[in-house]
């Protein structure tokens, strides 16, 4: 049913192709040369008496408008339902990570471990595309939270398009039934295993093997077959060793496009027990002018680290910024998260929930002294008595399971975030592999000492993403000024 208000002399309702006058107003209209398209004799006796009080001039205009509305309504009624459905959402995902294990070179095959998180609220299925030119086999899918297998099937693009989330599907997919609907502002994490055969991506070249594959996923690892040493890699990467001695490369692609990975390897690496790496120790870097990271930390795979953080700067006069940071807890028996607040900052308004289920968690601000008095185990970390700590307890993690948490907090840090004259300054060391800073409304970036990808959000704010593939922190020095329109107020 369409309701119209005209000039504002008529209010009319149309239902289907019926037109009913609800009431009129008797203000005079200027003379109109337009002839009426509908005669008042077609209206009820009561309507004619009402219309008569308004005069012939108003009728000429009013009936023509009524006819136009009636014709438009009938046309719309014939072409579409009375209320059009809202535009369908599209499938969205985040936190993608891929591990490729190259199998025997003559097989042209490689095993893929693909970690991905579904983020479309309410979604009960997830579609993983099968790359054109590759033949998939040995598929299996696991729910990352529970560790339980998930149902799946291979579907065509035509079948996938039957799902409103996949209106643009144009290839074959692995369709996965999620363990639970994706919660509002939550996530559904899955692990997909499959084997691809693709002779164009993995092949021999003389005495070398070549893995030549553009990778759109931003975090990747490629493991060479046993006995092969790396001789060339065109994408800057960590070089690491698996526990069985195989050589691997790992990288984070911070760019906007695919990483055109091309790596070459040859026989020559040791195999068997002699290839087993020495366990990394806790010795610190001897060259660092300060207390450096341990060997264990420096040789961990940066691309697979699952902590990321987003800072939302408030107006700089407040010295305050809110943030949320996500991380996955998979250690058996872990039952709490402790966030030790760095010196120079104070914390407020902590909150947390489990992204997998939407379950809200309790949070509490304590001090090192409070933790000691409550006999809370803080592990190997030593916490000073006056240091603030955010404590978030949760149900102990079971073997083979995991949970992903989102923790939100507000910090006040005058030394890190301040106003220098008319210039905003954010000066803070960021330790996550994936970090982002959002400027307050009305500000534009003028300097960033660390390279960043810059985007503008839908509300006009500027976001800077700092992705760091190195096993260290980035010392972000960011400056901004008020936009001209804002400064003039």
Q: How far apart are CA 251 and CA 260, in angstroms?
A: 12
pLDDT of residue 291: 60
Q: Are strands 10-15 and 2-6 parallel, antiparallel or unpaired?
A: antiparallel
Q: Which two tokens stand for residue 421?
A: 């004259």
Cβ-contact 308, 433 below 8 angstroms: yes
What pLDDT sits at residue 295? 86
Strand (E) or helix (H) holding 373: helix 368-373
Outline where DSSP puts E strands in 82-182.
93-102, 109-118, 125-129, 135-143, 152-155, 173-177
DSSP run (H or E) holding 222: strand 219-223
Q: Where are the domains of the chain?
A: 2-79, 86-199, 201-277+296-302, 308-487
Q: Count CA atoms within 13 Å of residue 381 on its CB side.
A: 15
Mean pLDDT, 10 residues at a time, the chain of 489 residues: 36 38 36 36 39 41 41 38 50 96 96 97 94 87 97 92 88 94 96 96 96 96 95 93 94 92 93 87 62 81 93 97 96 94 94 97 95 85 88 96 97 95 94 95 94 93 93 92 74
Class of domain 86-199: mainly beta
Side-chain half-sphere CA neighbours of 240 within 13 A: 25
Contact 324, 407 (CB under 8 A): yes
- 308-487: CATH topology: Immunoglobulin-like (2.60.40)
Q: CA-to-CA distance for 276 and 293, rounded, in angstroms?
A: 23
What does 439-470 look like in DSSP terms, one character per residue? PPTTEEEEEESS--EEEE-TTS-EEEEEE--S
Q: Cα separation of 473 and 298, whole Å?
A: 11
Report the residue count for the chain: 489
Domains 86-199 and 201-277+296-302 share a fold: yes
The CATH label, of 1.20.950, 2.60.40, 2.40.30, 3.80.10, for the domain at 201-277+296-302 is: 2.60.40
Half-sphere CA count of 277, side-chain side, radius 13 A? 15
CB 306 within 8 A of CB 144: no
Rounded to whole angstroms, how far apart are CA atoms 223 and 103? 9
Element (H, E) at 248: strand 247-252
pLDDT digits (tens, 9 = 90+) for 97-108: 999 999 999 999
pLDDT digits (tens, 9 = 90+) for 42-97: 334 444 344 344 444 443 444 343 444 433 433 433 334 333 344 457 899 999 99
The sign of the CA dihedral 340, 342, 344, 346 is negative
Chain center to CA of 26: 58
Give the Cα separation of 226 and 249 in Å (integer).
14
pLDDT score at 279: 83
Q: How many Å apart are CA 444 and CA 462, to the nearest integer?
A: 7
Residue with tokens 């240091």: 387
């Amino acid at each position: 049913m369409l309701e119209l208000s005209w000039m504002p002399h008529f209010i009319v309702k149309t239902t289907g192709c019926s037109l009913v006058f609800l009431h009129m107003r008797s203000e005079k209209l200027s003379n109109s040369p337009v002839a009426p398209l509908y005669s008042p004799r077609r209206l009820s006796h009561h309507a004619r008496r009402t219309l008569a009080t308004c005069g012939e001039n108003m009728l000429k205009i009013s009936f023509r408008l009524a006819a136009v509305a009636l014709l438009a309504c009938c046309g719309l009624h014939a072409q579409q339902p009375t209320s059009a459905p809202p535009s369908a959402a599209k499938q969205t995902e985040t936190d993608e990570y891929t591990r490729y294990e190259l199998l025997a070179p003559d097989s042209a095959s490689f095993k893929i471990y693909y970690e991905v998180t579904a983020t479309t609220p309410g979604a009960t299925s997830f579609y993983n595309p099968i790359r054109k030119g590759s033949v998939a086999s040995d598929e299996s899918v696991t729910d990352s939270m529970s560790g339980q297998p998930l149902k799946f099937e291979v579907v065509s693009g035509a079948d996938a398009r039957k799902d409103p989330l996949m209106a643009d599907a144009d290839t074959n997919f692995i369709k996965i039934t999620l363990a639970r609907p994706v919660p509002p502002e939550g996530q559904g994490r899955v692990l997909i295993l499959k084997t691809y055969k693709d002779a164009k991506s993995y092949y021999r070249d003389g005495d070398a093997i070549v893995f030549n594959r553009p990778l759109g996923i931003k975090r990747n690892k490629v493991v060479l077959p046993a006995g092969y040493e790396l001789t060339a890699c065109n994408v800057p990467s960590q070089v690491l060793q698996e526990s069985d001695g195989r050589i691997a490369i790992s990288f984070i692609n911070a760019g906007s496009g695919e990483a055109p990975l091309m790596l070459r390897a040859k026989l020559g690496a040791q195999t068997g027990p002699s290839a087993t790496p020495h366990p990394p120790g806790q010795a610190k870097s001897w060259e660092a002018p300060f207390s450096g990271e341990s060997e264990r930390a420096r040789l961990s795979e940066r691309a697979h680290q699952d902590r990321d953080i987003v800072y939302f700067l408030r107006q700089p006069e407040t010295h305050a910024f809110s943030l949320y940071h996500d991380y996955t807890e998979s250690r058996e028996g872990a039952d709490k998260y402790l966030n030790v607040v760095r010196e120079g900052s104070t914390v407020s308004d902590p909150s947390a929930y489990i992204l997998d289920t939407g379950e809200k968690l309790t949070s509490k601000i304590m001090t090192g002294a409070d933790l000691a008095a409550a006999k809370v185990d803080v592990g190997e970390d030593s916490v000073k008595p006056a240091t603030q700590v955010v404590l978030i307890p949760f149900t102990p993690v079971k073997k083979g399971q995991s949970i992903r948490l989102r923790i939100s907090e507000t910090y006040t840090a005058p030394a890190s975030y301040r106003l220098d004259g008319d210039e905003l300054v954010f000066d803070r060391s960021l330790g996550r592999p994936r970090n982002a800073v959002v400027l307050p409304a009305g500000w534009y970036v003028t300097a960033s000492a660390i390279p960043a990808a810059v985007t503008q959000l839908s509300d006009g704010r500027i976001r800077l993403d700092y992705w760091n593939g190195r096993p260290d922190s980035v010392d972000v020095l960011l400056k901004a000024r008020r936009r001209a329109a804002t400064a003039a107020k």
